[in-house]
Structure 1
Amino acid sequence: MLLAIDVGNTNSKFAVHDGQRWRGTWRAASNSSRTADEYAVWLDAAMRFAGLALSDLNHCVISTVVPQALFHLRNLSRRYVGAEPLVVGDNAELGIDVRIPKPSEAGADRLVNAIGAFIQYGGPAIVIDSGTATTFDIVSGDGAFEGGIISPGINLSLQALHTAAARLPRIEIRKPDKVIGTDTVGAMQSGVFWGYIELIDGLIDRIKAEYGQPMKVIATGGVASLFEGASSHIDHYDQDLTTVGLLEIFERNGGRAVQRNPM
């Protein structure tokens, strides 16, 4: 079985594929100091809820934007999976053309998302990943990565408001009932939520106008589901886009062909 690991700045996702379908996915807070043994104890306990065990694993593919975490994740794969992991940006061939002046500047997560989006939906496409940062990445009609946009994530904006303004509280992210807030919390929720909807829809319009072709729009990431039904420009919401991309990378590097059933 394949263990696919996607480590973001805030959260990490672990998923297991048995060669036919995804058997389970689990998320944890990203922590660069967590050791391989700590990962193993947590992951083994989580997998048992799906009737699985660490001993079932024999392949591993990793994408991380937190370089400090990679040492421990490599050890997790070597000790508990019994395999040298494929690592995006290191020993994994991605099979994607990166059409920007400095290809090394394209983050691993953005390239994996581009691969996943092209496999699932084709191109041209805009991939919006809402996490610590909100990224808009362009996938061409032939599957190439053609650049994009990086903006602050919605949680980062909320944190900045709370930290920089003494009288503004820490609030949850949710769709407010009204655009015009009548109290501090309502005003903040409206500003952040609807502000991000306008950011997303406005940038999509500008990207499409500049690109000059019809484009599919796919949203993924931890808070993307909050925008469902609010944005008029997003065509698909897919929380498993990165995992699909990792599975494709595994195959492109000699992994056994597998069927992509939905999670």
Structure 2
Amino acid sequence: MNQRQRRYMRGPLVVRQGGRQESTTDSRLLDVQHSTDWLHEDPWRVLRIQSEFVNGFGALAELPPAVTVFGSARTSSDHPYYRLGVDLGGALAAAGYAVITGGGPGLMEAANRGCAQAGGLSVGLGIELPHEERLNDYVDMGINFRYFFVRKTCFLKYSQAFCCLPGGFGTMDELFESLCLVQTGKITHYPIVLLGTDFWGGLADWVTNTLIEEAMIDPGDRDLVMITDSVDEAVDHITAVHSDLFGPGTTPPESAPGTPQAGDR
């Protein structure tokens, strides 16, 4: 594929011209400023940030009950983790949930694929990155964001649970932010499930043997997350939490809160 054929994300845009950019909107906001121009530019960036929140909230406002799935963008389609992601997306759709991912390749694509093939609503919330071209082909509803923090708010605000497939720093970032928000009561009735006991086992041991042992967290905080190899067990756990809250055999109503408390929406 030559340079002119490649597609690149520029916030909400996908372009073929211009090639790979040296920085992103996020990095231009957060990097060290080498001149005083930021004194005049940053206040105007607030309006762009506001517009991303408005566009994201507007697009997702009528989303049905949903589960966010995260995982590595680097996993190939012939890897067992990919099959796990497809199965998870399909099982969530069968349970009545839309599936939200970061919209990228790898395990995000797998979850979107499983959901779409099962007839569910497959959602992708993309991000402007120098090395990623587009949302994957299995996204039914897609939004591209410039700012990570806006995107992360939408993941949490418009989903009622979090499933984490094996992944790298981005996956860990989302996992620990979600754990922190649950631990501090910023989001409630929000089950978190990790798929892959071999992959996540070392992290679970460290939480138990280091964080709990050294009193960095409460012993009960270990129970904020469920680790399993079974897609069925993961989905059953999510539906059980929601059944306790919303009634047996039900998914959360469309008005159920994700991140905020009811009434803050």
Q: TM-score, normalised by structure 2?
A: 0.33
Structure number with the higher helix fraction is 2
Structure number with the higher strand fraction is 1
Q: TM-score, normalised by structure 1?
A: 0.33
